[in-house]
Chain A
Amino acid sequence: MAADDTANKHGPDIAAAVKDALLSGLVALALFGPLIGLRTEQNMRNELVIQSRWGLVAAIIAVIVIGRFLMLTLVSPALARRRERVSATPEHPSALRQALGKWFAPASIAFLFLYPILIVSLLGFQGSLKWVDNFGIQILIYVMLGWGLNIVVGLAGLLDLGYVAFYAVGAYSYALLSSHFGLSFWILLPMAGIFAALWGIMLGFPVLRLRGDYLAIVTLAFGEIIRLVLINFRELTNGSAGISSIPKVTLFGIPFDASPGGFAKMFDLPLSSAYYKIFLYYLILLLALLTAFVTIRLRKLPVGRAWEALREDEIACRSLGINTTNTKLTAFALGALFAGFAGSFFAARQGFVSPESFTFMESAIIVAIVVLGGMGSMVGVALAAVAMIGGTELLRELAFLKTIFGDNFNPDQFRMLIFGLAMVGIMIWKPRGFVSSREPTIFLAEKKAISGSLVKEGHG
């Protein structure tokens, strides 16, 4: 019986595959034919006219048909064979894998601290700018946001689709208070966090009794409301134009500028904007590590265990005397606190904030990072942030493709398209994210990782 099954699986049915591939091609023709083949363009008189691009459609459909055929005849059987092998041999992580798991986190933290030095020594101060700023700082902001949201979604199991609202509160708190009252970053950083946490409690209080998708939608609504208020409350926020020339961060009073008291003069270094970027890099690295430290610590405290218990079974929690509303609120407020920190850093780094930076898409990206990473796993979330944000930043580097496809080809516009496809692809490949197992917070005799299939994803 089993032999029969495997025989069936291993011998791909060529005729069926051809049929399936052709069918896929037909569907693709129907959908892509109009959307790609008939491009609507405005002519000189501002009228829409159709430009046909049948060559492109033909190429895409050919790729789909051949790809589908290869998928059915080669890839799927190979995957099935591999799955069989994996399920036949009991799960036993190799020594190498275990060592990797143990040393991965410290090694990557050490790497992150050495990263700017490495880049500067390789590319010089000027050459390092892009790598420190676009990659280093950008990714670390999302790592921090991912870790912050991980508390809410990954640990407490509360799906928050409006997380970016707290990021916005932090950013605008810093932007407004520093430009109006001239307060320094170091005072405003904690304040921005606290404001965001207060907003978290205020918004959280009415909505946390909702469950599952309803909570997700209400948080989405709140996120949008905050963004729309930022756009329309022009007296305070300057509307869509945003707030510009936000003061920079100082190194405990030492500004990063060309003034006599500035950083470069003080240490007798040649002027360069790279110092500020490197300083910002270390700042966000420390903020992110603070988030990680607090989260790891909290997981081992009663409140952290209560979050995870809440994710597993809310009713059982209540039967054990846990005040679930307060427990949810602490998760919500703490997540918001870290988003507030990240927001004020973001405002200081950009020197400019506008509602554009706080759209639903931002929230979706952060949630995607948490889920793709594997809910609750710090390492997984960091990996997902590197893959998704680093990946899309890398796509910006594809300018050389212009030499192949001509000047009209703009690789940048494919960034989000590929991002979306990656989201779908990763979910289908690993529905529980990169790291699906859960580390127990305490053990008597032996620490055993818990398989992801037992860990619940929360109801609300």
Chain B
Amino acid sequence: MVQELLASPPGLMNFAIFFLLAAILLMVILGFVTYAILAERKVMGFMQLRHGPNQVGGRWGLLQTVADVLKLLIKEDTIPKLADRPLFILAPVIAFAPAFLVLAVIPFTDKLQFADIGVGLLYYIAISGISTVGVVTGGWASNNKYALLGGMRAAAQMISYEIPLVMSLLGVILLSGSLNLNDIVSAQSHGWFIIKQPIAFIIFIIASIAELNRTPFDLPEAESELVAGFHVEYSGFRWAFFMLSEYVYLFAMAALTTVLFLGGWGALPFLGFIPGAVWFSLKFSLIVFILIWVRVTLPRLRADQLMEFGWKVLLPAALANIFLTAILKELF
């Protein structure tokens, strides 16, 4: 049925059907974000030998995030007098829209996927860069010193870590010979890229944590030095959209890591009877857990260490990995 739909001439009917399906995905993502925040707080709690949320919604705090969202929804919204009003209002939208837009190309299983475009990987990288514009806009529009510093740090961090991120993926592209994410998954049927491309995987994980602005790279919002960085003037639901985009990116980045390095929905040998969706969610959860684990374990870097690390360690390593891969491929 979906094949027929894709083959039919595009029109309003197709638009309506796609809209409905994408809206369902959006609801699933919002559900994920709700429980990812809870999971993060719980895991952080257990790792730091405390309980985490355990009041709202039973022992596991199952309704904690729902309560938080409701509280944000009925919170008064203030826009400072000195702020640049149109840009201030626009910034959360610029930050959020790309976060959802990148999900269009990610294949969850061989059946469950949305847009299957030829340049999927390039599309992901290109669109995800736009979010930083939203962060910088928010920092600038607030007309607040902390916010401006946070926004500038976000820009500096993005330009330093975008390069290693993009370069580390070249190894994967060399081996699969395609930018289409479906082709990349099928190229991993005889061994995942995490085994063939270990250096690329490590660089990618580090750079993606930096792109996600998560601890140890959360300098744009470093609460101990910049109070809350770029979103210090935001309150209520506008603030919630910055947070939401952060967690939607967490979803997108974990899904992309699964697709690129862990073989997507592919099964381990002899375990092919377990459906692809289960495999995907297992690998995906593992990546999310590792990202939370890293956040709990490592302290925040200093701004200068962060920049030096990106340019002096990650970039040369990524370049070396490209040519190591190319030469190995030429030899074998």
Say whether A associates with B.
no
Q: Which residues of B contact A (CB under 8 A)?
A: none
